[in-house]
Structure 1
Amino acid sequence: MSLLRSVWSRLPRGARREALFTLTAALAPRIARPAPPPSLPLTVAGYFGATTGLGAATRRLAAGLRDQGFEVGEADLTGPLRQGPAGPPPAVPAGPGTLLVHVNGPMLPWALLSLGRRAVSGKRIIGVWNWELPQVPRDWDRGFAACHAIWVGTEFVAAACRRRDGPPVRVVPYPLPRPTPSALRRQDFGLPEGAFVTLVVFDATSSLARKNPLAAIEAHARAFGDAYNHILVIKTHGTSNAGSGWVQVAEAAAARPNVRVIDAALPRNDLWALMASSDALLSLHRAEGFGFAIAEMMELGRPVVATGWSGNTDFMRGPGCHAIGWHLVPARDPQETYDMPATCWAEPDIDEAAAALRRIAADPALRRPPPIRLSPPDYRQALELTGY
């Protein structure tokens, strides 16, 4: 066994990925054909136990369905699909129903294999997908054959997933929870009361090149230099798994006396408190499938300065929304999550971002725009259960 593991570890990452997805697609249970009609009960399968963005999105989906009166079963795929520590084995009742599988295209056959033939048989299978580029990689082809329909959060992702011969794709935006900040205040985060605080939030394992914190540090420096009363807070987690790219970000942050790094997975209410304690959100991403932090800051009534490209453009409108110009460049990602140089993502205008931050800092009225609440999705319509 150790010899096999040694050989496997020496294979290039792409070869390991291709072998794994080919094997799981061959072994996965086949979905029913023709597609079963829409039916209850509902089960959401996904990364309920993961601290990643996909984990948060899975939990939001299940909570949003319950808020609209649905009884929802949960099947945690975090352990079986190696996205975090193992929880209870995923269990799905046999028989008809609808299975919402919140894993991306190449992982979908593996998810169905983990759930088992008994769980999949006779059910309507909906893949709930997230992606951040205008095209999906070729290894997503297996996912198109493993579902009856696809849900995505924004029109940007829908455009990447629609195929003439593929399953129907429906835009079903994620529900946003009401802001529930804890009692923590600025001093609890080590932030001075009188400072103008700009916040950057990201998961370091997602892709540093995509989240682009180096551009945020540079934009803040061009806006305010090293002024002690203008603080940039970088809230992240997962840096130990982010490779050498994080070293570069950490060094850039350490070189600026007014940049603070919070490297920790905060409880949800404490993260709300940090966001509420900040004066603006800065997201100079190169691509976003949705952009939860942007939408959440809009809900809190805080201005957002963000790249005006990709999924966040579906909802980033109105007072307090400062869309930054961009130009397209080849998508190169040293972490290899989004390394697709044949397609493109955005390079934001750092000077424009710096100018927006200066305007907001100088005008108290711009620092407190009216809160913007996004409309929740109509899950009954999305599930085609209007006759139930």
Structure 2
Amino acid sequence: MNTFSSGNSTLEHAERPDAGRKEAANKERIALFTICSNNYMSAARVLIESVHALHPEIDLFIGLADKKVEWEGLYDVPAKIIEAESIGIPEFHRFAFQYDIMEFNTAIKPFMFEHLLEKHGFDRVFYFDPDILVLKRLDSLIKYLQDGASLLLTPHLHVPAEGDDDPNDFTIMRAGVYNLGFLGVSRCGETLNIIRWWMRRLHRHCINAQALGIFVDQKYMDLVPGFAPHARIVHDHGMNLAYWNLGHVHLQQSGNSWRADDQPLVFFHFSGFDPRHPTTLTKHSKNFRNTQSVPLKSLLAHYAKLLFAAGYGQLPNAFYAYGRFESGTAIPFHVRRMFRETTPDWPGNPFETYEAYLHRAAPIGSCIRKNLVFTNFQHHLWSFFANQRMRLDPDNTEHLRDLTHWYVQKASREQGLDYRLIEPVALRLGNPARPNVTHLAMTNTNRPDVSVVGYLRTTSGVGMVARHTLNGLAHSALRVEGVDVAHGVVSDRSDRTSEKHLKDQVAGRVQIFANINADQLPFVLEKMKPVLQPGYRISMPAWELEEFPKEWLPAFDAVDEVWAQTKWIQRMLVSKIDKPVIHMPVALTLAPPQKLPRAHFGLPDDRFLFYFSFDFLSYIERKNPEGIVEAFRLMRRRNSGVKAALVIKTMNGHFAPEKQSAFIELVADDPDIILIDGVLNREDTLSLIACCDCVVSLHRCEGLGLVVAEAMALGIPVISTDYAATTDLVTPQTGFPVDYRLIDIQPGQYPMGEGQRWADPDLGHAAWLMGRVIKDTESARRKAHCARHFIEMHHGREAIVKRQLQRLTELTLTA
């Protein structure tokens, strides 16, 4: 329920805003504020410092549409920082959830005005967008207010714009007559009535919907001259000059000052300007690109220099507090729109509770197949897209199947959805009612229950997964055997920890092909034909990229079911093959490693140690150790005096000698980076990890993320790219997810990578997290404790074997 005042201020009865102006001018209190999220603090700093240099007498504020973060010097500005959550916006979490970052920044504007006028008692208040530079004193604007204006507005255009180029008369009428990058107000009843009306509107309707006559906070101001007789329109060409009106004035420069026609340039609005491309005025228009006049070119260069000096580009985008659910899942446009349109009165905090609602069954949709459930979020997307709504009826089972397959296969790439919003639907889809269980009907009690086939003697990750699977099931009541695969293996094969279970025959009624990839599965099956008995065959494939290679899909014709080790793999396969695709995590229970001293591995005792390990056979481009090195060095530069080192364990470099040499050269002269190369036995590997203080994985893609999982199981804090399979494990509660952007895989970087994407982790964010783990040991300890508990509860041997037995029981009962 909204709780806004209708405007019963004691100032309501003041006929004009200049009442009482006979008081001495020096008693007048003036405030100026801007609004930004953390990522725009560099621009806000430039604005605030430009105003402070010209008007040291004005009180300055920054309305932070975000939460403060620990970043040295970020808020060291001559202004008071006010977090949006603290200014009394009703139903704040609902308010923040419904808007994207641009909408949210604009929506809090009237609330900041009221806060400064009413709570702080300022007589005049100015708002400036953070991407404005003030070049001259604002005396004329102050005088307009002192002379009786209630509000000051600057129009986008001072003359008609009748051409076809954008902006023109038509585009400006859609966006709003006045530019709300600037607004000045006097404290009076007329103003407060406008502000409170504006607050009521923006509490629910600060959206970019120009077709509906709404453009965030701005379009509403078209009505204000009709509501406020004392509102004044500022026609000065030197006020709020920007790309939308620059073409109508003659810009001149004299020394360090500029003029617009014959008027001083008081403030310039750099809307859409990127200082990395200073020859382009704005991203919003094709005008003024690479053809600027000398005065404009000089002004852009001057502003770009100020932005870089203020720290432009240094702060990670991940710092936006209202961009994700509590779980870490990114909140897309469609979810915010769904919230506004269908559940605006949601009880409680939607950042905590709304994600689960997305995955609940909608009131429509066929119920014939239990693995096809039309969720609330799918329903919203279907309603939003007319082409789906007109062609497909979710009450029709076949149509619902098509809608579900689109959602699982294409919605993420087409609509920018976090894969974590896709996975619950994929998990359900992968478990059809009636698998083919012909072989399980056999009752020959002389055969073992399960054969686990895999690279059981291979020391690399593919071998570890197979051994975890075999050893876990071997602790159950089932008769379980293992069969080692040597075909095509070039890695070290010295592991003998599963030797007691190994047999020469694949005799199990259920045959699990553990971590034998789909490209190798046909060859393994062919090679094993002489020892392969009939059975219910389960493939446990590994794959890292977001799309499974279609060339490999026919390999699954030879199996009855797929067990996906991660939700990442399950999602990519479930709609590609007509077989059950069950999410079945790998058991990750680890025997406590021997506590070896750091000196055993040649490691220093007086350093905080970060750790990463990788196999050159797994492709250095995907594992991205160079990114970890760069992030570590950046952390070191930002945290002078911190005693830290980076330990990188490698193996199989002789299979990629050029890449190994290049990597060694990258770190050779750095005394704080320690390389350990070669094959270690299992116990030594875990002991090495346990010697370190934090594991860092800035991978571009992962199908499992074994080093991350092992660190969590050992209670070691983890910093990990927030992408691909490791999102099953690392959340804001269990570790430190690193922000990223998606980039195209370049030719030759990875097999079957053509046309695919992977993550480019934000190294600045990773460096900040590395520094935070060192400084905030209590937070790191708490997350590591949660991670260890999470692994034991959801990936421990007991939990996983229980899931495996439950699935095998389902198959047996069906048979």
- TM-score band (shorter)? 0.7 to 0.9
Report the CA distance between 1:266 and its aligned residue.
1.3
Flag the 1:148–1:262 CA change in 2: closer, same or farther, 3 A: same
Aligned to 2:634: 222
By how many angstroms is 1:332 displaced?
Answer: 3.3
Q: Which residue of 2 aligns with 1:198?
A: 610
Q: What is the Cα deviation at residue 331 of structure 1?
A: 2.3
In the alignment, is residue 380 of structure 1 matched against residue 798 of structure 2? no
Which residue in the other structure is 2:620 paired with?
208
> Can you list the C-alpha shifts for 1:153-183, whole angstroms capped at 9, x where unaligned?
1111112222355221111000012242123
For residues 128 and 194 of structure 1, do their structure 2 counterparts lie closer, same or farther at Cα, with a shift above 3 Å needed?
same
- Corresponding residue number in structure 2 for 1:146: 558
Name the stretch that deviates more: 376-385 or 248-257. 376-385
Q: Is the 8 A contact 1:302 1:320 kept in 2?
A: no
Residues 331, 339 of structure 1: 8 Å contact kept: no
What is the percentage of aligned positions where both structures have the same residue? 28
How many residues get paired?
352
1:46 corresponds to 2:454: yes
Encode CA deviations 1:291-312: one digit per residue, 9 max, x unaligned: 1111121122221111000001
Which of 430, 437, 440 is equivalent to 1:37?
440
In structure 2, stretches of 5+ residues that fail to align are: 1-435, 443-447
Indicate if the aligned counterparts of 2:452 and 2:483 stay in contact, CA closer than 8 A: yes
Q: 1:267 to 1:381 in 2, by over 3 A?
A: same
Q: Is 1:327–2:741 an aligned residue pair?
A: yes
Alpha carbons 1:333, 1:339 under 8 Å: kept: no
> Aligned pair in 2 of structure 1 residues 278, 208: CA closer, same or farther (>3 Å)?
same
The Cα offsets for residues 120-160 of structure 1, whole Å up to 9 and x where unpaired, read as: 4x311111111101112233123121111111111111122
Contact 1:201 1:235 in 2 (8 A): yes
Partner of 2:567: 155
Per-residue CA distance 1:41-68 (angstroms, 9 max, x = gap) = 2101111121221111111110111123
Q: How big is the shift at 1:334?
A: 4.0
How well do the aligned residues superpose, as a CA RMSD in angstroms?
2.5
Match of 1:21 in 2: none
Structure 2 letter corresponding to 1:347: D
Within the alignment, does 1:269 sit opposite 2:683 as a pair?
yes
Task: Report 1 or 2 for greater relative contact order, CA contacts < 8 Å, sequence distance ≥ 6.
Answer: 1
Which amino acid in structure 2 is aligned with residue 235 of structure 1?
K
Contact 1:50 1:83 in 2 (8 A): no
Question: Which protein is bigger by CA-based radius of gyration?
Answer: 2
1:166 aligns with 2:582: no
CA shift at 1:252, angstroms?
A: 1.1
- Report deviation, 1:34: 7.4
Asked if the contact 1:185/1:274 (under 8 Å) is kept, the reply is no
Does 57-66 or 219-228 show the bigger shift?
A: 219-228
Q: Given the superposition, is the C-alpha separation of residues 84 and 277 from structure 1 closer, same or farther in structure 2, using an over 3 Å criterion?
A: closer
Change (3 A) 1:292 1:274: same
Q: 3-state DSSP class of the match of 2:606? A: coil
Q: Scaled by the length of structure 2, what TM-score is found? A: 0.41
Task: Decide which of 42, 54, 61 is 2:469's aligned counterpart.
Answer: 61
Q: Secondary structure at the match of 2:805?
A: helix
Structure-2 separation of matches of 1:34 and 1:159 = 23
Letter in 2 for 1:183: K
For structure 1, the 5+ residue unaligned runs are 1-32
Give SS of 2:617's match: coil
Partner of 2:523: 110
Secondary structure, counterpart of 1:69 in structure 2:
coil
Letter in 1 for 2:805: R
Q: Take 1:276 and 1:353, find their aligned partners in 2: how far apart are those partners?
A: 21
- Does structure 1 retain, via aligned residues, the 8 Å contact 2:611–2:689? yes
In structure 2, the partner of 1:255 is: 669
- What SS does the aligned partner of 2:679 have? coil
Give the Cα separation in 1 of the matches to 2:622 and 2:441: 37
Q: 1:382 to 1:331 in 2, by over 3 A?
A: farther
Contact in 2 for aligned 1:98/1:126 (Cα 8 Å): yes
The yes-or-no answer on 1:278 pairing with 2:703 is no
| Distance verdict in 2 for CA 1:137–1:99, change over 3 Å | same
Q: Which residue of 2 aligns with 1:7?
A: none
Shift of 1:319: 4.1
- Offset, 1:116: 1.0
Q: Is the contact between residue 128 and residue 152 of structure 1 (CA under 8 Å) also seen in structure 2?
A: yes
Structure ranking higher in strand proportion: 1
Task: Give the conservation status (yes or no) of the 8 Å contact 2:437–2:811.
Answer: no
2:725 aligned with 1:311, yes or no? yes
Contact 1:45-1:100 at 8 Å conserved across structures: yes
Deviation at 1:269, TM superposition (A): 1.4
Distance 1:60 1:42 in 2: 14
Change (3 A) 1:75 1:356: same
What is the identity, as a one-letter code, of the residue corresponding to 2:756? Answer: T
Secondary structure of the residue aligned to 1:99 is strand
Higher alpha-carbon deviation: 291-300 or 109-118: 109-118
| Cα displacement (A) at 1:81 | 3.3
Deviation string, structure 1 residues 303-326 (Cα, Å, up to 9, x no partner): 111100000101213545000001
- Partner Cα distance (1:340, 1:173) in 2: 25
**Which residue is equivalent to 1:342?**
755
